[in-house]
Structure 1
Amino acid sequence: MMWQDLVFLAGNVFSIAALAPTLRDETSKVPLGTSLPSLTIGFVYGTAFLTMDMTYSALGALLTGFIWGLIALLRSPTDVAELVASFRRSSDSAPSASPPGAD
């Protein structure tokens, strides 16, 4: 095991501990513009750590990404189901592009 693996794990454990109060507080509101990029970064870092055989770092990063995902679902001021429905409505009503030369 590399010592760097433990350092990254410690950083992720600290992040999880810092995020726990936000997850527990029902009045907390975290915008999706914060939580979704953080979720993505956690999963990307976790995957990268796995490819370098840094198992503990990968586990910590993936868990941090998972916590951000829970925050996105539970603590967003925008209802996620409503957001998905609005994306579906906008894609259904978007005008279809004409193929080139169809004029």
Structure 2
Amino acid sequence: MKGFAGFGRKQDLVLVIRDSDLVGAALREALDGASEEERAGLERAVALVGATAGASEARLRADWVRVRLADVGFTGDIASVAAVKALRQAEPGLSLLAAVQLQKDAVTHRE
């Protein structure tokens, strides 16, 4: 099977989509007109969006890996072969190469 743009092999791509600027602007707008009881939650949301906006793509992928592993009940070592297997169980369409690359991000960006 031929790939796109002249690639002869299947290419794995994990794309990080950032809408943090739009989300942050919407939250700040909501905060401007918020009631006193809504303010604390909206202020926290603005802070979280700000923190995520500054994160690297590798960090966001690492966080995604940890969430996906937690979703399938994996509690072992992220650097293990079992973690790659669990990640591929969580995301069946993920190739071995992509799973290993994502695992490397998760290992590099441990909490």
Q: Does TM, normalized by the shorter one, top 0.5?
A: no
Which structure's relative contact order is higher, taking Cα pairs within 8 Å and 6+ residues apart? 1
What TM-score, normalized by structure 1, do the two folds share?
Answer: 0.31
What TM-score, normalized by structure 2, do the two folds share?
Answer: 0.29
Larger proportion of helix: 1
